[in-house]
Structure 1
Amino acid sequence: MPRVHGPAGGDHGDGRGARGGCTVSAVVIRRATASDAAATADVFLRSFAAALPTVVRPRSDDEVRAYFRDVVVPSSETWVAVVNDQVAGLMVLAGDLLSQLYLAPDWRGRGIGDRFVALAKERSPRGLSLWTFQVNKPAHRFYERHGFVEAERTDGSGNEEREPDVRYVWRP
């Protein structure tokens, strides 16, 4: 899977959790392990479907699950947000590229995305870049709120979905 786009956005940081009033402080962010692969793939699939209903995924659910199991979790700097032993979100870093940031739909707007971006900036203090789809306006607002600026727009020929996208960069 070449360029991957995260549907982040809508994470307003109000601190309230979706399950039982759980607060964002109850969320543990840690490196993903092999045992998290299935749950991270599930978060990706649910988040993508909820945030990007008009974007056609070129891979089946089973291919996505295999990709997370065989490539993303074992070979990438993958982080998960865990609440009550459930994965609520994931972030993947590849050097200075924020490759993926996905939140379970019921955990959007709870501050987890804010924490992931803060961690990404901590891990890559000289700057970050990321791609998101042009249709994903909530993600644009989210990243712009975190100091990212638009650097490039493409026709989508560089991503598997063939969906027009935007590259954002953050510099300290």
Structure 2
Amino acid sequence: MSGAPEPARLRHVPHLAAILWASGRRTPWLPRVRARRTDLRLMASITRRGWVRVMRGRRGPVAFIARDGARIHALYVHPRAARRGLGSALIDHAKAQAPRLELWVAEANRPARAFYAAHGFAEAARGQGAGNDENLADILMVWSPERSDAA
């Protein structure tokens, strides 16, 4: 695995989609709402915008984060690469780049909620899913250095 997150390139898009789809297969409560072609177009779009950073394995990206300023839109680790600190490395890199971070996480995604809480994110609001593709109840979680220092 590479040591530090690096900017994603368009050639990484198939890897990014494979990570997303593999994670989705491990999350039976998460409905599939987009065609794979749409996922590929979205991945290409956010990669072109410079939002995506990847952690690489021997054969390419195995984890990624998509962030626009303070907003984290996605963080995924391929299930085969889970529990190796890749998600933590991506979060730590994002923290070093931004004075505040926020993200929406599905209420049903208990492992992700615990992961973000362990990294200093705190619940700031709850939603009924109006802002996510799956229309699932969600939670806004926020990190700031001040909040982390108080914890």
The answer to whether TM tops 0.5 is yes
- CA contact 1:31–1:78 (8 Å) conserved in 2: yes
Q: How does 1:22-61 map to 2 (within 5 A)?
A: 26-50=2-26, 52-61=27-36
- Please report how far the alpha carbon of residue 46 of structure 1 lies from its aligned counterpart in structure 2 after TM superposition: 1.0
Flag the structure with more relative contact order, 1 or 2, with Cα contacts below 8 A and sequence separation at least 6: 1
Q: How many correspondences in the alignment?
A: 145
Percent sequence identity over aligned pairs: 26
- Please report how far the alpha carbon of residue 57 of structure 1 lies from its aligned counterpart in structure 2 after TM superposition: 2.2
Amino acid at match of 1:82: R
- Please report how far the alpha carbon of residue 28 of structure 1 lies from its aligned counterpart in structure 2 after TM superposition: 4.9
Q: Which residue of 2 is the match for residue 137 of structure 1?
A: 110
Q: Which residue of 2 is the match for residue 99 of structure 1?
A: 73
**How many angstroms apart in 2 are the aligned matches of 1:42 and 1:35?**
13
Q: Which residue of 2 is the match for residue 78 of structure 1?
A: 52
**How many angstroms apart in 2 are the aligned matches of 1:142 and 1:121?**
15
Segments of 5+ residues of structure 2 without an aligned counterpart are: 146-151
**How many angstroms apart in 2 are the aligned matches of 1:86 and 1:27?**
13
**SS of equivalent residue, structure 1 residue 166:** strand
Segments of 5+ residues of structure 1 without an aligned counterpart are: 1-23
Are 1:123 and 2:97 counterparts? yes
Q: Which residue of 1 is the match for residue 149 of structure 2?
A: none
The list of structure 1 runs, each at least 4 consecutive aligned residues, that deviate by more than 2 angstroms after superposition, is 26-29
Comparing both structures, which one devotes a greater share of its residues to helix? 2
Q: TM-score, normalised by structure 2?
A: 0.90
**SS of equivalent residue, structure 2 residue 34:** coil
Q: TM-score, normalised by structure 1?
A: 0.80
Q: 1:63 aligns with which of 38, 42, 49?
A: 38
